[in-house]
Amino acid sequence: MLEERLNQELAQVRARKKLPTPTARQAVRERSGITQAALARVLEVDPATVSRWESGERVPSGERLTAYLAALDRLAREAL
């Protein structure tokens, strides 16, 4: 049980390290042409949540972090 919880925490730490800066998050989204509201719908969060992530006021965690990283990666590839 301890090992599993520790592995989960370490996975979150590794994921947070992959998260771009707030300014870069916003830039990726804007370059792709998607709005905060549209991204929020995709991620099933409130648009204010995406705004907080992009301002650096909050950092996603858990499954939301994983989904947000995947979305940013896809948006970055689309913007190329």
Each residue's pLDDT tens digit, 8-67: 999 999 999 999 999 999 999 999 999 999 999 999 999 999 999 999 999 999 999 999
The amino acid that residue 21 corresponds to is: T
Out of 1.10.150.240, 3.40.50.2300, 1.10.260.40, 3.20.20.70, the CATH code matching 2-78 is 1.10.260.40
What pLDDT, on the 0 to 100 scale, is given for residue 66? 94
The amino acid that residue 16 corresponds to is: R
d(CA 4, CA 47): 33
Q: Does residue 10 contact residue 56 with C-beta atoms inside 8 Å?
A: no
Rounded to two decimals, what is the model's pTM? Answer: 0.89
Cα 31 from chain centre = 16
80 pLDDT above the threshold of 90 = no
Domain boundaries, the chain: 2-78
What pLDDT, on the 0 to 100 scale, is given for residue 79? 75
d(CA 15, CA 22): 15
What pLDDT, on the 0 to 100 scale, is given for residue 78? 87
What pLDDT, on the 0 to 100 scale, is given for residue 24? 97
